[in-house]
Amino acid sequence: MAILPVKCRKKRSCSGYVSLCSGISFVFIFLLCGSALAAISGVCADCHTMHNSQGNTPMNFDGSTTPNENLTRGTCYGCHAQGGGSVTVVQGTSVIPQVLHSDTKHLAGGNFGYITGMAGSGAADNKGHNIADLTGTDSVLYAPPGGIRQSFHYDGGTVNTNNLTCAGTNGCHGYRYAANSYPEGITGAHHTNMGGQLNVADETGNSYRFLVGVKGFESDDWQENATSGNHNEYLALDAPVQLGCAGGGVLSCHVNAAGVQPPDGTMSQFCATCHGNFHTLTVGDGTDNAPGNSSGVGAVANSPFIRHPTDLSLPAIGEYAAYTSYDLQSPVARLAVPGSSSSSVVPGSDAVMCLSCHLSHASDYPSMLRWDYDLMIAGNAGGASGTGCFACHTTKD
């Protein structure tokens, strides 16, 4: 058994293969199990320290003396936000993706360094999601804008800029508000991580980028070298639905004992777990949103809308019909999780999503947009023609 890859022994990530793995030749097993999975591998000591001490010197990457949960050699920040000059850091045989650095390019989620001024055109809280310990809190936004239902969502009573964090109850990655039988956060995810087509998403390791319940296709280098034909893929619906907390025929984000997650597995619904009002169809009685603020994108999934729609297929007619080549700066989502990424856009099927306009961690532009909104000038777009809004609104430039 010694030469079985570690991935095959992970019953949780490879359960379908376990019986196969016992009886067939090692070569076949390696090919079968190795291709679809991306669990971390490598010497334990690359990432773990048993006592945070060797030669009486701390083992943490940042030299800090505090030992970490799961005996890792860093916190999330210690491994993923090292503040260096590159989008990845090589640690032993592993590559650690970076979310805070000074490089002028960034991985798919963006760079928290835009908020702090470590990268880009200067520090600004409105460039992204402030994570208190990493970037400081947001000086303007306390609650998530667009939070729906009951005071504790739209007034920041649950998640707010003081407690927003990487993983866990007030985070984005891992289990959030889950029952006791589920560990809050991402524990176990790194060793059960799967890559490529993620169409099940019923635990952290097999969900898109450890976002529990989110389905998608993962580019294996986090888009370090993305092209129009090699990139992440996201799931969407062809039309938005009503989202809420529970009951009344409204789909709940509190899906099951595993806690808060997008009920249909789409990226836009994931964002809506905190910013629901910017995504849902109008819900009922006006108690779903802050007083005086009409809820949702509209009563039905047709123009005219009252907020920009997401999880909506591009019409196959009019200006939208001309968006046929995938633009990395204004991506679309698909109605089914593909097995590989594609450089084509199919109006009538592919859909607009939150990440068509926003990054997820931080960007170099206000409101965490992918591009400079000031350059989106109708009828006079100049060099910005065909970019940003104009990728879809092809006749407005």
Asked if 234 and 342 touch (Cβ cutoff 8 Å), the reply is no
> Rounded to an integer, what distance in angstroms lies between the CA atom of residue 186 and that of residue 168?
7
Indicate which single residue of 33, 107, 178, 189 sits in contact with ligand HEC (rule: CB under 6 A): 189
In the bound state with ligand HEC, the residue whose beta carbon lies nearer, of 286 and 348, is: 348
What is the rounded distance in angstroms from the CA atom of residue 210 to the CA atom of residue 134? 20
Whether residue 289 contacts residue 245, with contact meaning beta carbons closer than 8 Å, is answered with no
Positions in 228-267 near ligand HEC (CB under 6 A)? none
CB of 72 to ligand HEC, least distance (A): 4
Of 291-350, binders to ligand HEC (CB under 6 A) are 303-305, 308-310, 312, 314-315, 320, 330, 332
CA distance 356 to 28: 40
**Interface residue with ligand HEC, options 20, 40, 118, 290 (CB under 6 A):** 40
Residue among 46 and 103 whose Cβ is closer to ligand HEC = 46
146 with 278: CB under 8 angstroms? yes
Would you say 17 or 174 has its CB closer to ligand HEC?
Answer: 174
Which class for 134: exposed (0-12), middle (13-18), buried (19 or more C-beta within 10 A)?
A: buried
Site for ligand HEC in 91-150 (CB under 6 A): 94, 96-97, 125-126, 128-130, 138, 141, 144-146
Among 13, 49, 72, 116, binds ligand HEC (CB under 6 A): 72
Size, binding site for ligand HEC by CB under 6 A = 84
Closest among 219, 330, 201 to 270, alpha carbons compared: 201
Instruction: Considering the complex, state which of residue 161 and residue 289 has its C-beta at the smaller distance from ligand HEC.
Output: 161
Question: Among 5, 36, 67, 191, which residue interacts with ligand HEC (rule: CB under 6 A)?
Answer: 191
Residues 6+ apart with CB under 8 A from 306: 294, 296, 297, 298
| Letter string b/e over residues 62-82, b meaning 16 or more CB atoms within 10 A of that residue's CB | eeeeebbeeebbbbbbbbbbb
**Min. distance of Cβ 352 from ligand HEC in angstroms?**
4
Ranges within 10-39 binding ligand HEC (CB under 6 A): 38
**Binding residues among 355-384 for ligand HEC as defined by CB under 6 A:** 356-358, 360, 367-369, 373, 376
Residue 218 binds to ligand HEC (criterion: CB under 6 A)? yes
Quote the tokens at residue 246: 């529970």
Residue 272 to residue 245: CA distance in whole angstroms = 11
Of residues 148 through 177, those in contact with ligand HEC by CB under 6 A are 159-161, 164, 166-167, 172-173
